[in-house]
Structure 1
Amino acid sequence: MQVVGYRTETATDAPALLLASDDTVEREPLTPGAALSFSLGDRWCAGAVDDDDHYACDRPGAPYCDQHTSRWPCARCTGNCDRPLANCREEHAVYLAAFAPDVFKIGVTKSGRLRTRLREQGADRAAHVHTVSDGRIARQLEAEYAEEIPDRVRVPTKVAGLDESVDETAWAELLDGFEVLETFSFDYGLDLDARPVPETLLSGTVRGVQGRVLVLDRGGTTYAVDLRELVGYGVTREATDRRLQSSLGSFS
């Protein structure tokens, strides 16, 4: 059995891991309170997933080999293009996202995916600041704002603030420079009183998922797991027995 992907929370679906066995994909729900008991083995290319079908690949590249690495053409686009994709011609939203305590980013997405995109990223707060007619204009605005506001936030930075609240003063000061169309506030139910320990494991009790960060309780310690770092691992249904870093609180 291999971890071949994951799904973040949407309005209709709970977060889940995608596990493949015998070319078939099954979902492992990551709902609060769920008990996970998997040991991680070797890691190799996760191949490709098409609905419930899995197309395996035995190449060593992880999480994907060169042949299965998809390169999203819009990832680094700054609007200097001729709108080559159908999506480029759809209405887009430009947004600001806040990650506790005081990390902010600028971003763009199709208007109909705004709330979903914010939850995918694990934003604590957000503000919709522009609606534009197509993706090229959105990317041009993003590139302009990115000279002062980052357009990406790394997962370790997000993990570092999971136990904190958004700095309301800093957030309000940022929004003062924009004509805000709508604001959002998200609660992922993690209820943390200390920063979780970053780790790559799949054994413990699910506390919750924020963006692509899975939070697990195990042995008196709370761990933060980047779901992407699990993709490609072969797994067996048994609790891990390897030695893990523990939080100071686990000894009290």
Structure 2
Amino acid sequence: MQITSKDVQEVENATRELSRVDEFSLYPTFYIRYYTYRPVSDLLMPHLDIISDHDDTQIVPFYGHVMFKLSEGHYCETCFQPLEEPTNHCLDCLKKSGIDFLYCVKKGPGFGTGNCSPEHPCCESEFSQNYCKREHALYLATFGQNHIKVGISRLDRVIYRLLEQGASHAITFRRSNNLNNFIYIHELEQKIKEECGILDSLSFDEKAPLFENQKHDFESDILKMNIYSDLFKHLYELIPQYQLNLSNFYTHFPRIDKYCKYIKKLNGNIKYFRGNVAVLEQDGERVAFDLNKLSGKKILNVIG
């Protein structure tokens, strides 16, 4: 085979490009996708779902002593490009992936891969089909005496979902006609939110003081939940399935020196966790921070 001048030029160009590659790009960079709760012995403990730009994913414990620094900004967990908003995906990656099935329901068929309806809750996306066809449960959860929220979860992980939010008491519901796929249950959640005036979210700023005042938090208004339960059965054909007291899952809330939504350095001991509220003891202070705000953060380096 005869080597031409074109071949030589291509090799030179490739060599030049390789010389520009930062030596550190050979090593993976890690990003936090979200927090979750996983069983450890007889306890449910917080973990972080971490992904690298080398397509490696892992679930790592987030309790005991932790030590690493985080980026200020957020990054897309698919293409790893910086984001202007504190979300998990850039718009381009959202449109290309099955993740946009959530928007099919919220914005109607035709958005992204959405071609679904309550009777046919499947898109062409394999991920969407797998998710939307699964049985879901609707729940009412209490946070203190005056905070009730409505939500939905896959039936097989509803307890985990409630604990990931830090609920003290909850009632789970199913439809009497057994139509419990994601689309039907999501539509019911929206109806209940609008028609009954029940919240579907509770912020860190609202939760943390409730958790700190733990005695009153655990004295949740069960009577009000039972009234809603009867109302749901009449209006929405929802049958109560389980009534749950989750307060035994939580330990005593410690003394707090300050609240911090965003935290960039973690070098200390996790003293407490409940839902998305965690308490870190470092530099002689106990800081309560929001686990949700870790999503999309780049791990800059491990301290130690």
TM range (shorter): 0.7 to 0.9
1:238 is matched with which residue? Answer: 303
Matched ranges for 1:32-111 at <5 A = 34-48=64-78, 57-61=80-84, 62-63=86-87, 64-69=89-94, 70-71=99-100, 72-73=102-103, 76=106, 81-82=117-118, 83-85=120-122, 86=129, 87-111=131-155
2:173 to 116, 129, 133: 129
Is the Cα–Cα contact under 8 Å of residues 33 and 77 in structure 2 kept in the other structure?
A: no
Instruction: State the AA in 2 paired with 1:229.
Output: K
Alpha carbons of structure 1 residues 77 and 185: separation in structure 2 relative to 1, 3 Å:
farther
For 1:244, the equivalent position in structure 2 comes to: none
Counting helix residues as a fraction of each chain, which structure ranks higher? Answer: 2
Give the Å deviation of 1:26: 4.6
* Counterpart residue number, 1:149: 198
Partner of 2:219: 168
Please give the root-mean-square deviation of Cα atoms over the aligned residues, in Å: 3.2
Contact 2:35 2:291 in 1 (8 A): no
Opposite residue 138 of structure 1, the aligned amino acid is I
The SS at the match of 2:191 is: helix
Of structures 1 and 2, the larger Rg is shown by 2
Percent of aligned pairs sharing the same letter: 21
Are 2:244 and 1:184 aligned? yes
TM-score by length of 1: 0.73
Deviation at 1:57, TM superposition (A): 2.2
User: Structure 1's 218 and 233: CA in aligned 2 closer, same or farther, altered over 3 A?
Assistant: same
Distance 1:129 1:81 in 2: 22
* 3-state SS, counterpart of residue 174 of structure 1: helix
Q: In the TM superposition, what whole-angstrom CA distance separates every residue of 1:169-220 from its partner, at most 9, and x where no partner exists?
A: 6332232331543212224534214455124222321123322333212234
Letter in 2 for 1:162: F
Provide closer, same or farther for how the CA distance between residues 90 and 39 of structure 1 changes in structure 2, counting only shifts above 3 A.
closer
How far off is 1:27 after superposition? 4.1
Query: In the comparison of the two structures, how many residue pairs are matched?
Result: 229
Q: Which runs of 5+ in 1 are unaligned?
A: 49-55, 240-252
Q: CA deviation at 1:35?
A: 1.1
Q: After the TM superposition, which residues 104-119 of structure 1 pair with which residues of structure 2 at under 5 Å, given as runs?
A: 104-119=148-163
- Give the letter aligned to residue 211 of structure 1: G
SS in 1 for 2:75: coil
Per the alignment, residue 4 of structure 2 pairs with: none
Alpha-carbon distance, 1:227 to partner: 2.5
> 107-116 vs 168-177, which deviates more?
168-177
Distance, in Å, in 1 between the alignment partners of 2:70 and 2:204 is 21
Label 1:9 to 1:167 Cα distance change in 2 as closer, same or farther (>3 A).
closer
**Paired amino acid for 1:128:** T
Kept in 1, the 8 Å contact 2:271–2:279? The answer is yes
Who is 1:52 aligned against?
none
Q: CA deviation at 1:158?
A: 1.8
Alpha-carbon contact 2:68-2:299 (below 8 Å) kept? no
Deviating more after overlay: 95-104 vs 126-135: 126-135
Residue in structure 2 matched with residue 29 of structure 1 by the alignment: 61
Unaligned runs of 5+ in 2: 1-28, 109-115, 123-128, 231-239
Task: Determine which structure has greater relative contact order: mean sequence separation of CA pairs < 8 Å that are 6+ residues apart, divided by chain length.
Answer: 1
CA–CA distance in 1 between the matches of 2:202 and 2:45?
23
